Structure 1
Amino acid sequence: MLKSVLLSITLFCCSIVFAQDEFEQSLDSLQTLDDVNLFFQKNKKVKGKVIVFNEEKHKTRMATDILKMSVGAKKYDKDNPQRTYFKIIEKNEIPYYKVSCVYLDGTKHSLKDINIIRNQVISKYKEGYEFSNLAKQYSMDSSAKQGGDLGWFTNGDLHPDFEIPIIEGNYSVGDIFTIDIPETQSYYVVLMTQNRKLIKESKVLKVTMPRK
């Protein structure tokens, strides 16, 4: 009886190891995002998604480790209750931009009044006022609480009519300018707070081995 039980346990453990090895081998075969999409189509029960780790936005130990890894490398998350892996699919350096702004709502002010306010903001900034304080005083959206700071963004993160003048403009740190988006009645005073920066990003497949 005892031998039968031990044999059953041994066979069970071997099946788990085999399934684990097979699972890891399937991960090793994934090289592109197209491979990942096909993998999920064939493995409906597998839970997973592609996530992006950015060296400026993600400062955890996990993110730091992943950003150091090369394309194709895997990381096993031993702290996760399920068997969870991270597989590096792509690594890139993406141009990012950083600005602060004062937003003025064209549905609440006339364009004439908006231009008066914008001229006041620009004049006060050039006189030595902190832009963050001006944003808290004048800006009409939630960014006012952060002193107008929008954080790092890249092409496609924000409204294109806001991004394009910043991305294509030859601006340097400290330059202040205006942006108009009549389509949404959005009007801005924008301060360049950082020069364009290439930031490392890793696209990573996070996948969890299903329970048996």
Structure 2
Amino acid sequence: MKQYLLFALVFLCAIVSLSAQDDTEEALASIETQEQAKQFIKDKYAFNSKIFTFNEEKHKSQLAKALFTLDKGQVKTEKTAYEKVLYKILEKSTNPYYRVAYIFLDGNTYSLESINALRETLIEKYNNGTPFSALANQYSMDKNRKKGGDTGWFTVGSMPAALENAIISNNHVLEDIYTVDVPSKQWYYLVFQSHEPKDISEIKVLKIVEPLE
């Protein structure tokens, strides 16, 4: 009798677990927007789910590569001995990205005359063979100097507006060097066009983690 009750209890737990998983997958099928996904997280999975973005240029893991092969709305499921993880593609997009290197010079520290003279000297040094990254590391007056002035890939809205507009709007060719001034903030730049703009794919993914009983 005890063995029968134990078997029945295990069987009942398995049914409840499968039912819960089916409910989750059914709910996932109805989610189409980030707003719906956020509400789903808030209502049911506040502690073990999230929405995140994969960028095809930055994220090279096997998981990222697999998710990029899916279409919007599709779900990828992974299982371990302890949990099931579901990934649903909420959005897929391709956006223009930009990348330069720059040297920042602070007009609150040096006069504009000194800054212009220094920029001319730096351009001459570059033309004579000194790498722009070395010049940025030595002369730039912000933390980005540690990266040789490299911005990394960025999209619209990520940089100070005046600098961003100059980078995006003026159709500079590869390896151009140009100046950007923001007198209202006393910011002065020497910019090196290190990369051509490129379109980069991104996906927004809803991740749900369910323990397996």
Identity %: 38
Change (3 A) 1:145 1:81: farther
Over the aligned positions, Cα root-mean-square deviation in angstroms equals 2.0
> Match of 1:173, SS?
coil
Aligned match of 2:149:
148
Aligned match of 2:180:
179
1:157 and 1:88 mapped to 2: Cα distance?
24
1:47 and 1:93 mapped to 2: Cα distance?
28
Change (3 A) 1:83 1:44: closer
Contact 2:107 2:186 in 1 (8 A): yes
**2:105 paired with 1:133:** no
**2:40 paired with 1:39:** yes
Contact 1:92 1:200 in 2 (8 A): yes
Contact 1:89 1:204 in 2 (8 A): yes
Moved more, 66-75 or 86-95: 66-75
Structure 2 unaligned blocks of 5 or more? none
> Match of 1:153, SS?
coil
- TM-score with structure 2 length normalisation? 0.90
> Match of 1:107, SS?
coil
1:162 and 1:139 mapped to 2: Cα distance?
15
Aligned match of 1:29:
30
**2:142 paired with 1:165:** no
The letter for the 2-side match of 1:99 is V
Moved more, 54-63 or 2-11: 54-63
| Superposed CA offset, 1:112-157 (max 9, x none) | 2111111111222223321111111211222222211111100011
Instruction: Please list, as runs of the form range in 1=range in 2, the aligned pairs for 1:60-79 lying within 5 A after superposition.
Output: 60-78=61-79
Contact 1:45 1:210 in 2 (8 A): no
Structure 1 unaligned blocks of 5 or more? none
Structure with the largest fraction of strand: 1
The letter for the 1-side match of 2:171 is N
1:195 and 1:30 mapped to 2: Cα distance?
37
- TM-score with structure 1 length normalisation? 0.91
1:171 and 1:80 mapped to 2: Cα distance?
54
Change (3 A) 1:38 1:119: same
Aligned match of 1:112:
113
Report the CA distance between 1:45 and its aligned residue. 4.0
Contact 1:96 1:198 in 2 (8 A): yes
The letter for the 2-side match of 1:180 is D
1:168 and 1:81 mapped to 2: Cα distance?
52
Report the CA distance between 1:168 and its aligned residue. 1.1
Contact 1:46 1:207 in 2 (8 A): no
